Structure 1
Amino acid sequence: MFKQLKVTDGHRMLTLTIRTYELEDFENLIALQAECFPPPFPSDLWWNLDQLTEHVSRFPEGALCAEIDGRIVGSMTALRVAMEDEMSHTWASVTDDGYIRNHDSEGDTIYVVDLCVAPQYRKLGIGKWLMQSMYETVVHLGCRRLLGGGRMPGYGEYADKLEPWQYIDRVSTGELYDPVITFMLRCGRLPIGIVAGYLEDEQSAHYAALMEWRNPFKVER
């Protein structure tokens, strides 16, 4: 994939390039992860060279980066899977701990592994454009949907008052705001379930909302 468009935060108008990332981008992608997930986030959970090599060799269509003025300011990674029991998986199991060696070239689901945008570029809509680009990949490959677990970092504040599905319902109606789930809703993804123990994530009480976008050109049988 390679495309260019203009993005703005209301003050600046910048040229954004979204393209497939490659071997020569690896060091910059790791630096982006460090910028997006600083300490106390453990550095051993940033992308490593072996993981990135698997991404570009197994499923290059799912390895996207966003670039402004020659700098990588965002990335999104996915793999293709066939989901048997979508409600009983973890991020580690469905993504092979981020190595995607379980990528299935015949799978009907594009599953999101990771999405990140450099903090100083987050008001330009780059995350939404990366998501839109992955929707285009879903359509291009004739897959049924895009799927992924969404962290619920706002849930921790309500965990003693609301069940996870109640929290998601209130976020979905706009009664509550969640920095991740609200973003996904604005991108056109819809919640189809709650997965317990998805990540070691105290802010989300270890839950994730399973968020789906269906290919509107794929007729369900």
Structure 2
Amino acid sequence: MTNYCKTFFVFLGDKPKQITIRNYTKQDIPALIDIQRECFPPPFPSELWWNEAQLLNHINNFPEGALCAEYDGRLIGSMTGLIVAFESEHPQHTWAEITDHGYIRNHNPQGDSLYVVDISVRPTYRKFGIGKCLMQSMYETVIHLQLARLLGGGRMPGYHLHAERLTPEQYVELVIQGELRDPVISFLLRCGRLPVTIVPEYLEDEESCNHALLMEWKNPFMPLTI
């Protein structure tokens, strides 16, 4: 394993604050579960938060894909990925299938794509670019491991407001054109992700009507051949 550790400044209000992004470890597990608790409060079911067995699998199976953001000695965000062999001609899948229900026992070191399992930032820190910094760190991991791309299914939480008049494809197109704003898809676009395809029944998600937008970031040093 190659350890990842990066320190930089973000602005919380008018003042620069030092943030560190690093690999998370066993000692971070209580804080990682607390981040989930804060990010997904009731009525979100607590049994869907990360559990200790899942987090241990992340650390043991693919530590390079287990990242956290730390400020003033406190974890404020995390991001997890695994490596998969992505077949562009067969892009349809569910979150549970491709992440092994979050346990990543299907992590494939011989795969070509880093797949995002989860990204979470404590609500208090969401306006300071922490999520974008975590995403950038995962792009750097893609380059370091010489993978072709980063992939992930983006929720479409604004879609339920327009589902009666728009198909998922029409909704995404309007978000891309800037006619609509989606909290997740717009964020991922700002992070440099590109749309691949709509994935129905990706996740049980009322706001997204169970849809997700599969999005990728291509390694600029390794042009895709498939």
TM-score range with shorter-chain normalisation?
over 0.9
Query: What is the match of residue 64 of structure 1?
Result: 67
Q: Is 1:177 matched up with 2:181? A: yes
2:19 corresponds to which letter in structure 1?
Answer: L
Equivalent-residue separation in structure 1 for 2:214 and 2:15 (angstroms): 34
8 Å CA contact 1:154–1:178 kept in 2: the answer is yes
Instruction: Please give the alpha-carbon distance, in whole angstroms, between the structure 1 residues aligned to 2:190 and 2:203.
Output: 23
Q: In the alignment, is the contact (CA less than 8 A) between 1:87 and 1:194 conserved in 2?
A: no
Q: Per the alignment, in what secondary structure is the counterpart of residue 191 of structure 1?
A: strand
1:139 and 2:143 are equivalent in the alignment:
yes
Q: Any residues of structure 2 matched to 1:65-80 within 5 Å, and which?
A: 65-80=68-83
Q: CA deviation at 1:220?
A: 3.0
User: Runs of 4+ in structure 1 displaced over 3 angstroms?
Assistant: none
Is 1:112 the counterpart of 2:116 in the alignment?
A: yes
The superposition leaves residues 6-59 of structure 1 with CA deviations (integer Å, 9 ceiling, x where unpaired) of 001442311000000000000110011000101100000000010000000010
* CA–CA distance in structure 2, aligned partners of residues 49 and 197 of structure 1: 27
Task: Output the CA distance in 2 between the equivalents of 1:172 and 1:161.
Answer: 17
Deviations 1:116-145 (A, max 9, x none): 000101111000000000000000000000
Deviations 1:138-191 (A, max 9, x none): 000000000000000000000011110111111011110000000000000011
Indicate the residue corresponding to 1:154 in structure 2: 158
Q: TM-score w.r.t. structure 1 length? A: 0.98
2:55 counterpart of 1:52: yes
Percentage of identical aligned residues: 60
Separation (CA, whole Å) in 2 of partners of 1:17 and 1:26: 17
Instruction: Count residues with an aligned counterpart.
Output: 221
SS of the aligned residue for 1:202 comes to coil
| Residue from 195, 198, 209 that aligns with 1:194 | 198
Q: Secondary structure at the match of 2:58?
A: helix
SS for the counterpart of 2:207 is helix
Extract unaligned runs of 5+ from structure 1.
none
